[in-house]
């Protein structure tokens, strides 16, 4: 019986259950959860909604008229039902985007870092010798790449909130789990594999059998470690730059700051003072000074960066050209609008709706005969309690209230 109900209900656009007890509300949610592979959200404002809120994957509580019961048992809470739109289309979407970008990038940088050691194993007799300086390994995730990733996952937006309301279809990638799936993970691993090959073998081949410009050593372990770690850091930083779509001042500061901190730290750690103070901890003395003044080293870094980054740029560009996602299309539109400012909108008279007909459900007699009798139009309307609070409240000014205009002429209905 339940399955029948579920199947029938899922064939409808909207289902209204009335006169349900709290337990039944929860049961409806659980029915959907159990048989459909869907994420459920329940929103409610009263104490009778608590079980439904707790049963759903995401529970949203409205604080206000009916007390704080719903709020206390919910995952998210706000003050009005209409804020649900902003929660889903703006904040939920951004949160999904940021989380997925963060995960992909984090796996990428750490896999690249690790695979380089794997390739070096073939050259060091598999003795587990690290390619990089031990201090670099310690500070890589802690200092050199921590803040830029943090700023990516805090501030990144693909389109701003106004455009998110204009194009609700932007929400679908989240529903279809497109940004981080097993497939995306495999692509990340393959990308890391390629990057690590470039980041190890190009420095290896460039440094093989060569010397400094005054004939002295440059292919010693310490110089090579410095070269490999600098190449790695530059490559992953550029990759982060490619992933960032929203460059605030903080993103810039963190990214360039982290790179500067890296150079400052290595010059400090490889200085005479540190070596004389803590000899066995800082054995790389003099390496930065002796190898970073070689054009050979910088040209190797340039080549590795180019080889790591340009294929990614080309691939993304091709994807945007040939198979643009809804995201790409909206961003393109945003760009076009910035280039040509939009035609000024006709100031709309504030009407509650542009629908030509309306429906209302009621289980009491209601005012139907009053409306159809026409008496309504000849007299000043009786003041009725408003169903929704006044839309001209100050709060409304901060919310985009209008949808994309449904023009008066006949238009085919938008796809769901």
Partner 1 sequence: MGKAKANAGPLARRPDNSAFKQQRLPAWSPMLTAQTVLPFFYGMAIVCVLLGAWLLVTVQNTHELKVDYTHAGSCDKCFEKRKDRANANQSCNCTVVFNIENMFKGDVFFYYGLINFHQNLRQYMDSRDDGQMIGRNKNLRNPSSYCEPFIKDKNGLPIAPCGAVANSMFNDSFTLVYHSAAGSRVVPLFRKGITWYTDKNVKFRNPQVENKTLTLAQVFEGTGQPLYWQKPVYDLDPWDRNNNGFINEDLIVWMREAAFPNFKKLYGVLNRAIEPFTDGLPAGNYSVLISYNFPVEYFQGRKEVVLSTVSWFGGQNNFLPVAYLVTGCLILLLAVILTAVWWKFGKNGRNMEE
Q: Which of 223, 229, 237, 258 binds partner 1 (CB under 8 A)?
A: 223
Least distance from partner 1 to the Cβ atom of residue 261, Å: 23
Residues in 89-108 at the binding interface with partner 1, rule: CB under 8 A: 94
Find residue 58's DSSP bridge partners.
41
Q: What angle do CA 213, 218, 220 make, to 5 degrees?
A: 165
Indicate if the alpha-carbon torsion angle 221, 201, 234, 95 is positive or negative: negative
Verify binding: residue 207, partner 1, rule CB under 8 A: yes
# residues near partner 1 by CB under 8 A: 81
Choose one: 23-31, 206-214, 229-237, 374-382; the region binding partner 1 (CB under 8 A): 206-214
Q: Which of 67, 324, 366, 368 binds partner 1 (CB under 8 A)?
A: 324
Least distance from partner 1 to the Cβ atom of residue 360, Å: 28
Least distance from partner 1 to the Cβ atom of residue 105, Å: 17
Verify binding: residue 192, partner 1, rule CB under 8 A: no
Residues in 138-177 at the binding interface with partner 1, rule: CB under 8 A: 155, 157, 160-161
Burial class for 169, CB neighbours closer than 10 Å (0-12, 13-18, 19+): middle
Q: Are strands 41-44 and 76-78 parallel, antiparallel or unpaired?
A: unpaired
Which residue lies nearer to partner 1 by CB, 176 or 360? 176
Report yes or no: 83 and 161 within 8 Å, Cβ to Cβ: no
Residues in 329-368 at the binding interface with partner 1, rule: CB under 8 A: 329, 331-336
Choose one: 12-20, 182-190, 222-230, 343-351; the region binding partner 1 (CB under 8 A): 222-230
Report yes or no: 111 and 196 within 8 Å, Cβ to Cβ: yes
Q: Name residues whose C-beta falls within 8 Å of residue 72's C-beta, 6 or more positions apart in sequence.
A: 61
Beta strands in 22-75 (DSSP E): 41-44, 58-62
Verify binding: residue 184, partner 1, rule CB under 8 A: no
Choose one: 39-47, 81-89, 296-304, 359-367; the region binding partner 1 (CB under 8 A): 296-304
Q: What is the DSSP letter of 77?
A: E
Verify binding: residue 266, partner 1, rule CB under 8 A: no
Q: What is the DSSP letter of 342?
A: P
Residues in 73-92 at the binding interface with partner 1, rule: CB under 8 A: none
Q: Which of 210, 354, 391, 405 binds partner 1 (CB under 8 A)?
A: 210
> Which is nearest to 198 in space by CA: 127, 276, 258, 112?
112
Choose one: 132-140, 170-178, 187-195, 209-217; the region binding partner 1 (CB under 8 A): 209-217
What does the block give as tokens for 321?
């050209």
Report yes or no: 292 and 226 within 8 Å, Cβ to Cβ: yes
Least distance from partner 1 to the Cβ atom of residue 402, Å: 19
Q: Which of 1, 12, 16, 209 binds partner 1 (CB under 8 A)?
A: 209
Q: Name residues whose C-beta falls within 8 Å of residue 268's C-beta, 6 or more positions apart in sequence.
A: 274
Q: Which helix (H) or strand (E) holds 76?
A: strand 76-78
Least distance from partner 1 to the Cβ atom of residue 96, Å: 15
Q: Name residues whose C-beta falls within 8 Å of residue 416's C-beta, 6 or more positions apart in sequence.
A: 13
Q: Which of 246, 259, 265, 399 binds partner 1 (CB under 8 A)?
A: 246
Which residue lies nearer to partner 1 by CB, 72 or 276? 276
């Amino acid at each position: 019986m339940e399955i029948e109900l579920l199947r029938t209900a899922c064939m409808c656009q909207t289902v209204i259950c009335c006169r349900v007890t709290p337990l039944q509300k929860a049961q409806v949610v659980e029915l959907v959860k159990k048989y459909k592979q869907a994420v459920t959200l329940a929103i409610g404002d009263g104490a009778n909604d608590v079980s439904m809120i707790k049963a759903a994957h995401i529970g949203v509580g409205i604080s206000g008229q009916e007390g704080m019961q719903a709020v206390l048992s919910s995952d998210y809470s706000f003050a009005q039902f209409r804020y649900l739109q902003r929660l889903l289309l703006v904040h939920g979407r951004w949160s999904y985007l940021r989380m997925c970008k963060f995960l992909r990038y984090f796996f990428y940088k750490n896999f690249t870092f690790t695979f380089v050691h794997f390739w070096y194993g073939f050259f060091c007799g598999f003795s587990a010798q690290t390619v990089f300086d031990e201090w670099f390994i310690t500070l890589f995730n802690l200092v050199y790449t921590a803040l830029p990733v943090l700023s990516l996952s805090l501030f990144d937006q693909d389109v701003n909130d106004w455009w998110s309301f204009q194009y609700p279809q932007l929400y679908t990638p989240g529903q279809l789990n497109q940004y981080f799936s097993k497939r995306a993970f495999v692509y990340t691993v393959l990308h890391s594999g390629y990057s690590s090959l470039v980041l190890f073998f190009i420095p290896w081949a460039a440094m093989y059998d060569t010397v400094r410009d005054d004939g002295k050593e440059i292919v010693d372990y310490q110089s090579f470690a410095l070269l490999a770690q600098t190449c790695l850091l530059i490559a992953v930083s550029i990759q982060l730059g490619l992933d960032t779509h929203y460059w605030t001042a903080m993103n810039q500061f963190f990214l360039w700051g982290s790179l500067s901190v890296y150079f400052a730290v290595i010059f400090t750690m490889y200085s005479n003072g540190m070596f004389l103070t803590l000899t066995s901890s800082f054995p790389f003395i003099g390496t930065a000074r002796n190898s970073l003044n070689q054009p050979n080293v910088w040209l190797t870094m340039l080549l590795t960066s180019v080889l790591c980054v340009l294929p990614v740029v080309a691939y993304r560009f091709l994807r945007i050209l040939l198979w643009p996602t809804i995201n790409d299309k909206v961003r393109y539109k945003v760009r076009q609008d910035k280039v040509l400012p939009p035609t000024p909108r006709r100031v709309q008279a504030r009407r509650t709706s542009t629908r030509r007909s309306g429906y209302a459900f009621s289980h009491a007699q209601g005012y139907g005969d009053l409306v159809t009798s026409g008496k309504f139009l000849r007299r000043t309307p009786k003041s009725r309690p408003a169903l929704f609070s006044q839309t001209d409240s100050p709060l409304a000014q901060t919310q985009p209230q209008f949808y994309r205009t449904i023009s008066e002429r006949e238009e085919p209905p938008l796809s769901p």
